[in-house]
Structure 1
């Protein structure tokens, strides 16, 4: 009887052991899967954890550094900051880590317990990558500063995208400025074209009034032949009709100018500069600018885009004498 009970107990114990072994096997499989998952993360990640002492000597670097820069942790520990960062980023690194070290040594710390900045990191193959660097003071249980620790994160793709966007913005700015210049030139051309018609009408009217009709009147008085008289009369009648038509459309008659203003007007019309006009007329450049201002006002030029020389090109200015002054 006792022997049978012993066999039953052994059988039950064996079953318990088998069940426990099965549970261990399941747990081991789960642990292996988790281990494989984290090993994959470590092998593929480019985020790097690091730790250094208070002299900025590297004490630990995670294996993921090899994915980021190509350096193994053993190689990286032997590197100095100047070997890890580019020249323009080294100042940023020194400034930020120096502030952390100063903070860690202070009895009454003021400032930041951690820093975050961007820096260019040197790679083993000679290339350069951008990293977002975070760092903080590492302390023991008593609060004593032991060094610094933090992370490097690869942000090269983001920085390249930002640079490409900045270059595109600059290109668009250049194109925008060019379009603005073209638009300004078109406005000026439109203004000149708009002023050309009334200028031509005024020029034609003044030519008819001061030259053509007086000449035909003198010619008509001198005619001895009836046929010539009739021909000149018809011509004068047509000229008078044309003058009447043009006069009805001219709204900006030739303004009355002084002799000095006329002389300046002729020289401006010929393309002379204010300095050249001053020398030709033996007056100061300031006086020339004064006369130019009066001419602009008399000819109705108000905007900076309206050219006085273009306006005078169509004005019926009186002819000049041999002395250079208007008649």
Structure 2
């Protein structure tokens, strides 16, 4: 900054005023300063600026996979909220190896972030406890383990229950569950909701059509094809996350199985315009990102205040065409779980 000031023939304070769009700087002075900046290719040191102003300028975001449609949307909304406050974000992927979480987070924190918003993958976040007095930390999607902190999670159990109950309501009795691992809290709760819906309707859960172990969309696609190859295959699939759904849907189409119903936990790009369009449990990632960002900003503004609250955000079933694949139409009978399946072409239940 002093080099810019010397070249423009002004003080360093005047250079700072130009950067901050101070209206009291004359146009001629502003022109000289901007010309010097361009000539010297000067870029402000944001870290030094943070120390001078005494306020953070960067929010750190750590999620399992920045390419996941849900987490991408969450990060985008946090970025929008940060931009409204003249702040920036730094985003990192944690991957799927829990043993790497701590080192990745510590590397992110070296960027001098003013707050951290994290969707954890490990079973222990106590390594962050010594930072809580000086660093606002907000967890999203998954609750922290061995640490008391603010967190915002979706109603995973309720969403799993609603998705399964909806498919049952369309006459399905063999509903497959395609997921990663029950070591992941969100998956475990969605599976519990799936089981609870079966139990409420008096339907026995068949463990043979609960396919765990997928790590990506390709693996989920193969798991779906394997399920269809069973002697008694499912008539519907509940995909545990949007990342897997991106693989499951084309897998079904590749073997011309439009008769297999599909519900995805999590909306994803193109889901509404595919043929058939995909029914989803909408997690509203924009809302998740916004409330997490607002909590982080509130902690920055009032560092002495401690929230450390559990916040469960509602999810919503968006019914599209995929849960009606094969034109399965339910007819209510007497008693819970009593549904007859009528196959027809009129598009209406008789």
**Range of TM-score over shorter length:** under 0.3
* TM-score, length of structure 1 as denominator length: 0.20
Q: Which has the higher contact order (CA 8 A, sep 6+)?
A: 2
Larger CA Rg, structure 1 vs 2:
1
Instruction: Give 1 or 2: higher strand fraction.
Output: 2
